[in-house]
Structure 1
Amino acid sequence: MPKTPDELFAFLDELGITVKTVKHPPLFTVADSQALRGEIVGGHTKNLFLKDKKDNFFLLTVEEDAVVDLKTVHTLIGAASRVSFGKPDKLMEYLGLLPGSVSALGAINDTEKKVKIILDEGLMRHDIINVHPLTNEATTSIGRDDLVRFLRATGHQPKIMAVATPADALAQ
């Protein structure tokens, strides 16, 4: 049974990690969440739940407007082949999440370490990172270093690497 947001917050509290959470109507896309800009400071995320042909699973967490080249990202993240989006049933099985609620905080449910967590370098330049707390009805602001500490406490060793192109770089 996946953890609830309250269980997630209790775990963060046990780790001594302070977060700030804002409740809001359900957000299903990056476009939906952009309506909150100005209210919530920090880096806002987009999450890609991916798999390769050998059923290796990856969660890429990047800045909301960054672009990930799905044709080549497999060469960066160590996938066995080109990647595609993971199915909702695997998202629920491994991370305990529904589509629209995807977040690195879902690592709390991946007790078998089936998902490799990749954090984009561009996102990690922000002191504060905003993620869904296992539901798309809230946004939790967590310190960059605290996010890494949380992931390690769940048994995941996140890779921090450049996997995305910032949107402003594409406009040039």
Structure 2
Amino acid sequence: MELRIEQGRPQDETGRLPKEIRCYDLLDLLGIPFRRIDHEALYTMEACEEVDGAAGVVMCKNLFLCNRQKTDFYLLLMPGDKPFKTKELSGQIGSARLSFADAEYMERFLDITPGSVSVLGLMNDKEHRVRLLIDEDVLNAGEFGCHPCVNTSSLCMKTSDMVDKFLPAVDHGYTTVVLTGEA
């Protein structure tokens, strides 16, 4: 597939979902510049590799997790190429028996569907049901990549803009975690 990097939101927003347009509206309102790559739907980190190469940034792996009782929900941002081990995370956040949360919670709390999980979905979490966890490697990177709540576009922006502008605007903090990906 041929990938083109565009600056900012699309000129023609015909056919784009309202939740994607809301992402662009908020980023524009906050003065957060971003690069955008439109592409076919991507469902796995492996499928993101070509986009990563074109963008010059590793897309974040965004995992939507919950505890066994399905009372606590977490959005984990980590480098896409780092293996995820639940046991390693559980101890750091004091929540045993983490698992992937059902799609119904993802849609209810973040207005996103599987394959489109993104930190930008926190703009829809008005009840603060989701706790954001960010791996230190993501925080230490100058830029990161994510979807605008749909998996047919990818955005690249400064990590500092996410932390210093976006998260305060959507009234969400974050917890730094240190993941090695080792057993």
Would you identify which runs of 4 or more consecutive aligned residues in structure 1 move more than 3 Å? none
- Deviates further, 14-23 or 24-33: 14-23
Counterpart for residue 150 of structure 1: 166
Counterpart for residue 81 of structure 2: 65
Counterpart for residue 39 of structure 1: 54
How big is each residue's C-alpha offset from its partner over 1:4-35, in whole Å with a ceiling of 9 and x where there is no partner?
A: 11111111111111111110000000011112
Q: How does 1:12-91 map to 2 (within 5 A)?
A: 12-54=27-69, 55-79=71-95, 81-91=96-106
Deviation at 1:71, TM superposition (A): 2.5
User: What is the letter of the counterpart of residue 77 of structure 2?
Assistant: T
- The count of corresponding residues between Structure 1 and Structure 2 is 164
Are 1:118 and 2:133 counterparts?
Answer: yes
Q: Is the 8 A contact 1:43 1:126 kept in 2?
A: no
Q: Is the 8 A contact 1:3 1:109 kept in 2?
A: no
Q: Is the 8 A contact 1:28 1:100 kept in 2?
A: yes
Q: Is the 8 A contact 2:52 2:59 kept in 1?
A: no
RMSD: 1.6
User: What is the letter of the counterpart of residue 57 of structure 1?
Assistant: F
- Deviates further, 98-107 or 3-12: 3-12
Percent of pairs identical after alignment?
Answer: 29
Distance 1:157 1:165 in 2: 23
Distance 2:117 2:25 in 1: 19
Are 1:136 and 2:151 counterparts?
Answer: yes
Counterpart for residue 116 of structure 2: 101
Deviation at 1:3, TM superposition (A): 5.7
Q: Is the 8 A contact 1:42 1:126 kept in 2?
A: no
Are 1:5 and 2:20 counterparts?
Answer: yes
Deviation at 1:89, TM superposition (A): 0.2
SS in 1 for 2:55: coil
Give the TM-score taking structure 1 as reference length: 0.89
Q: Mark the runs of 5 or more structure 1 residues left unpaired by the alignment.
A: none
Deviation at 1:67, TM superposition (A): 1.7
Counterpart for residue 177 of structure 2: 161
Q: Mark the runs of 5 or more structure 2 residues left unpaired by the alignment.
A: 1-16
